[in-house]
């Protein structure tokens, strides 16, 4: 590593033709080689990953919850893909969401707000400010503030979904205010351009897409100039980071071309590939410190996505209403486990990405789960929730008192992020769940 006379800013970019590529953490950004400086340059991040329609969690079959509490527990069949990250994994049991309210609408709404959805027949929707937005206000200063991603939007679903609940409740888990849900962005291209080409004109974007040129071509001169100033380790790190950007950009283009040619059934256009691309965009965003708070709806409630790539052709929502049929539960279990497997791939990438004195995962807290347990009955108690973090002690299964409000989890998550809340949502009064 070389130490420049004047350290690079953590907010360093390479620029060109409407493109600004934020750099990952580099040694040249350190004022010194001290460990304290490393820590100061590696802020904590938090992400919330939502999967819809619950798990296989019936009165007789529970494929999510570990059988033992404490440390050294055996991973359940659904959580098994996370076992290799055991030391970072904390399973939380007995949280309750919007029990009895709104079927799917209540599940998504209460997950980050601990607030029940309103049932007015008018155009206004009501819930509460979500914990991600509460934390985001304390981490201001990043280029994107917070990120809200998804893989589906409402499409043709408009008006009221059921029993007076607006379809808008299905499309967001993040709420800026009690009446302002923030829908997740489902287009990888839009997310990519927000991250790197927000300054580009429509004409510049059109030329880049038509010629299939990478955004990295636009910053090539700036990149060469910067590389000459860096040591070998920093150059290698930056090259790896740029390669990850190039790869995800190519996959977005391949997926777009497959869909444009009617190839929705191809691997390039599959739901799994869409999810992987979104995870990879989040991984890059974390490395570049573009946002320190994010939410990702792997699929929305009432999702009709199917996963033929794992041998399951039936829509996810239909499988969740399995009527306790063994064959249907087996297919739902495959989908549940596949979602965890994709999440585990994301965790592995964060663990492999350098960040200051450790990895990106070392400075990240991830919350993964659903707003219901048994989707067959729309049950919103005993919610399936797992945390993965490099700074919260793992290898634990924490079993709470029955019907602990999910807001207590969020109070504790906020505490891990340095924010102490006297209360949160409609039910939590500041209690924590024992993460510290």
Q: What is the pLDDT of residues 56-113, one digit of tens each?
A: 999 999 999 999 999 999 999 999 999 999 999 999 999 999 887 778 888 999 999 9
- pLDDT exceeding 70 applies to what percent of the chain? 91
Name the range with the highest mean pLDDT among 3-17, 96-110, 379-393.
Answer: 379-393
pLDDT band for position 10 (50/70/90)? confident
Residue 433 lies in a domain: no
pLDDT on residue 255:
87
pLDDT on residue 396:
98
Number of domains into which the chain is organized: 1
pLDDT on residue 263:
52
Q: Which range is least confidently modeled, 79-83, 175-179, 261-265, 397-401?
A: 261-265
Buried b (16+ CB within 10 A) or exposed e, 230-262: beeebeebbeebbebbeebbebbbbbbebeeee
CATH code at 138? 3.40.720
pLDDT band for position 2 (50/70/90)? very low
CA–CA separation, 223 vs 17, rounded Å?
13
Query: Is the model's pLDDT at 5 over the cut of 60?
Result: no
Residue 1 lies in a domain: no
Query: Is the model's pLDDT at 158 over the cut of 70?
Result: no
C-alpha torsion sign, points 379, 318, 306, 108: negative
CA–CA separation, 133 vs 112, rounded Å?
9
Residue 349 lies in a domain: yes
Domain that includes residue 324, residue range: 13-416
Query: Is the model's pLDDT at 267 over the cut of 60?
Result: no
Q: Encode pLDDT of 203-228 as tens digits.
A: 787 777 777 789 999 999 999 999 99
Residue 429 lies in a domain: no
pLDDT on residue 265:
46
Query: 143: helix, coil or strand?
Result: coil
Q: Encode pLDDT of 281-322 as tens digits.
A: 999 999 999 999 999 999 999 898 999 999 999 999 999 999
Query: Is the model's pLDDT at 39 over the cut of 50?
Result: no
pLDDT on residue 257:
86
Is the distance from CB of 108 to CB of 172 less than 8 angstroms? yes
Q: Which range is least confidently modeled, 103-112, 165-174, 230-239?
A: 165-174
The contacts of residue 224 (CB under 8 Å, 6+ apart) are none
pLDDT on residue 105:
86
Residue 421 lies in a domain: no
Query: Is the model's pLDDT at 52 over the cut of 60?
Result: yes
pLDDT band for position 201 (50/70/90)? confident
Residue 430 lies in a domain: no
Is the distance from CB of 211 to CB of 203 less than 8 angstroms? no
342: tokens are 């994709």
Residue 436 lies in a domain: no
Residue of 354, 408, 413 lying closest to 389 (CA atoms): 413
pLDDT band for position 364 (50/70/90)? very high
Name the range with the highest mean pLDDT among 123-127, 208-212, 376-380.
Answer: 376-380
Residue 395 lies in a domain: yes
Give residue 383's region: left, alpha or beta (phi > 0; psi -120 to 50): beta
Q: Average pLDDT over the chain, rounded to whole?
A: 89
Q: Is the pTM of this model over 0.85?
A: yes
Query: Is the model's pLDDT at 189 over the cut of 70?
Result: yes
């Amino acid at each position: 590593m070389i130490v420049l006379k004047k350290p690079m800013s953590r907010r360093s970019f390479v620029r060109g033709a409407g493109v600004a590529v934020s750099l990952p953490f580099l040694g040249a950004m350190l004022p010194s080689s001290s460990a304290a400086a490393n820590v100061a340059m590696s802020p904590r991040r938090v992400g919330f990953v939502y999967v819809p329609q619950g798990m296989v969690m019936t009165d007789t079959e529970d494929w999510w919850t570990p059988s033992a509490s404490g440390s050294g527990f055996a991973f359940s069949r659904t959580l098994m893909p996370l076992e290799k990250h055991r030391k970072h994994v904390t399973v939380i049991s007995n949280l309750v969401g919007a029990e009895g309210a709104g079927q799917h609408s209540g599940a998504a709404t209460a997950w980050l707000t601990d607030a029940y959805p309103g049932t007015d027949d008018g155009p206004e929707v009501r819930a509460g400010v979500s914990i991600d937005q509460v934390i985001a206000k304390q981490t201001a200063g990043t280029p994107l503030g917070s990120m809200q991603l998804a893989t589906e939007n409402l499409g043709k679903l408009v008006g009221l979904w059921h029993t007076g609940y607006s379809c808008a409740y299905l499309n967001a888990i993040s709420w800026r205010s009690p009446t302002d849900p923030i829908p997740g962005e489902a287009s990888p291209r839009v997310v990519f351009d927000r991250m790197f080409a927000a300054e580009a004109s429509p004409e510049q974007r059109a030329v880049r897409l038509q010629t299939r040129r990478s955004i990295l071509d636009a910053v090539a001169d700036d990149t060469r100039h910067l590389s000459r100033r860096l040591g070998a380790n920093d150059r290698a790190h930056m090259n790896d980071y740029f390669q990850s950007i190039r790869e995800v950009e190519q996959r977005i283009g391949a997926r777009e071309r497959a869909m444009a040619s009617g190839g929705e059934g191809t691997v390039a256009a599959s739901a799994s590939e869409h999810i992987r691309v979104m995870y990879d965009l989040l991984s890059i965003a974390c490395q570049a410190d573009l946002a320190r708070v994010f939410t990702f709806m792997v699929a929305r409630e009432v999702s009709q996505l199917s996963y033929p790539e794992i041998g399951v052709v039936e829509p996810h929502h239909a499988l969740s209403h399995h009527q306790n049929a063994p064959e249907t539960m087996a297919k739902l279990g495959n989908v549940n486990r596949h979602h965890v497997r994709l999440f585990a791939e994301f965790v592995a990438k964060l663990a492999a990405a350098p960040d200051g004195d450790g990895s990106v995962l070392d400075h990240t807290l991830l919350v993964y789960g659903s707003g219901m347990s048994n989707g067959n009955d729309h049950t919103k108690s005993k919610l399936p929730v797992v945390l993965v973090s490099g700074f919260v002690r793992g290898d634990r299964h924490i079993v709470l008192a029955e019907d602990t409000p999910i807001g207590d989890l969020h109070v504790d998550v906020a505490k891990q992020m340095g924010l102490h809340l006297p209360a949160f949502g409609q039910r939590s009064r500041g209690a924590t769940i024992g993460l510290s």
